[in-house]
Amino acid sequence: MDIISKDEFLVEYDVFAKKIQDGKLFIHPTDTIYGIGCSAVNSEAVNAVRDLKQRHMTPFSIIVPSKEWIYENCFVMTEAQMWIDKLPGPFTLVFRLKNKNAIAKEVNNDAETIGLRIPDNWFSEEVARLGIPIVTTSANITGEPFMTTMDDLNPAIKSQMEFIIYEGEKNGRPSTVVNLAGPHVLVVKR
């Protein structure tokens, strides 16, 4: 397991991109806290994250490669457009999924909805470059404190990561969830 900086990730982008495409688990920064990531199109990788977090039913959120991905793969009501315009930012937007083949069914356990993020962080640009959605879930075992520094990282999580992109302490909280899947917009602060 390697702990790397943004610069190291960018210099060795092809190596790390291949690891992600091959289904390796990793920790990435966001605009709020650190997240466990993997390819959202790789069922085996998603199940490995589920086992690690001890979270077998609740859907995961994903970082999408672009706003266009949202329009292509989700049902977007008119009221949702203003929320999409706020991206990148500290929001998880929940949509009804139009194209179920856009992600592995294990990401949302075949639910009709999916939580989408484009964090206001340089890592979102790398997801865009990859061109595939990435699972993003807090770097912790479900119910434990989330990771804001390396000191917060549970050793059981750390031992299963291929690499960790670390950029120092995060002072954020988990993102605000905005449910855009129903007839009315519902904002849930966390």
Write the pLDDT tens digit of every residue in 44-89: 999 999 999 998 889 999 999 999 999 999 999 998 999 999 999 9
SS (H, E, C) 83-138: HHCCCCCCEEEEEEECCHHHCCHHHHCCCCEEEEECCCCCHHHHHHHHCCCEEEEE
Structural domain count of the chain: 1
Q: Report the CATH number that the domain containing residue 76 is assigned in CATH.
A: 3.90.870.10
Which domain range does residue 7 map to? 2-188
Task: Respond yes or no on whether the N-terminal peptide bond of residue 88 is cis (omega within 30° of 0).
Answer: yes
Write the pLDDT tens digit of every residue in 132-145: 999 999 999 989 99
Write the pLDDT tens digit of every residue in 6-38: 999 999 999 999 999 999 999 999 998 999 999
Q: Supply the pLDDT for residue 190.
A: 58
Question: What's the predicted TM-score (pTM) here?
Answer: 0.94
Among the residue ranges 76-85, 103-112, 168-177, the one predicted with the least confidence is 168-177
